[in-house]
Amino acid sequence: MENTASIFGTGEARVRSMNARKFALWLFIISVTMVFASLTSAYIVKKSEGNWLIIEFPELFNITSVLIVISSISMHFSYLAARRDNLLNIRLGLVITGLLAIGFVVGQYFAWDKLVEQDVYFVGNPAGSFIYVFTGLHVLHLAGGLIFLFVVLFKAYTYKVHSRNLLSIEMCTTYWHFLGGLWLYLYIFLIANN
C-alpha cells in the first residue's frame, strides 16, 4: 500500500473543508439562481406563444440599478475596512449600504406605481406578471439581505467584526454582490427580451 507521504508530498494528509455557514450560503445562492433561471426560461417560452405586451420600463429601474451597484461597492468597502481593522469605515460602509438598499426597495415600489399608471398589472398580460414576479422576488431576497446586513452592523458596533473575525461580513459581502449581479442580470434580460 502506498504511503500517504508519497501521495501528498508530506507526512500529513491535507483535509480541505469549508465553513458550514459559508457552504449553506453557497447552496442558497445556487438555489436562488436556479429559481431565476427557471423563471427566465418560462418567460422565453411564454413570450414565444404570442399575445405579449411591450412595456416601457420606468426610468426608476435605471436609478435603482445604479443604487444597487453603488451599494455593492460600499459593501466591499466595508469588507476591506474589516480586513484592516478600521472600525469607523466598517460601520460607515454598512450604513451606506443599508441606506442604498432601502432606496432601492423604495425605488422599486415607485417603479411598480409607474407600471400601474401604464395599465401594467400583476394579473393580466403575462409580460406584466413576469416583471412583477422578477422584481418582487428580488426585493424579497434583498429584504433578507438587509436583515443580514443589520446583523453584521450590530456585530460591528459590538466589536465582533475585525480582521480576525471576518466570517459574517465576508458572507454578507458575498450575498450582497450576488444580489447586485442578479438584479443587473434580470434588468438586462427584461430589456433585451421586451
Take residue 114 and report the three cell numbers written for it.
409607474
CATH number at residue 180: 1.20.120.80
Residues in Cβ contact with 8 at an 8 Å cutoff, skipping those fewer than 6 apart:
14
pLDDT digits (tens, 9 = 90+) for 89-140: 999 999 999 999 999 999 999 999 999 999 999 998 899 999 999 999 999 9
Number of domains in the chain: 1
Dump the DSSP string for the chain. Answer: ---HHHHHSSSS-------HHHHHHHHHHHHHHHHHHHHHHHHHHHHHTS--------THHHHHHHHHHHHHHHHHHHHHHHHTT-HHHHHHHHHHHHHHHHHHHHHHHHHHHHHHHTT--SSSSHHHHHHHHHHHHHHHHHHHHHHHHHHHHHHHHTT--BTTB-HHHHHHHHHHHHHHHHHHHHHHHHHHT-
Is residue 116 within 8 A of residue 103, CB to CB? The reply is: no
Q: How confident is the model at residue 17 (pLDDT cuts 50, 70, 90)?
A: confident
Task: Quote the pLDDT of residue 12.
Answer: 58
Task: Quote the pLDDT of residue 36.
Answer: 97
Give me the domain span that covers residue 118.
Answer: 4-192
pLDDT of 171 above 90: yes
**Measured distance CA(2)–CA(82) in Å, rounded:** 45
Residue reference for cell 438586462: 188
Residues in Cβ contact with 166 at an 8 Å cutoff, skipping those fewer than 6 apart:
79, 82, 83
pLDDT of 8 above 70: no
The CA dihedral of 172, 146, 187, 65, to the nearest 10 degrees, is -90
pLDDT of 11 above 60: no
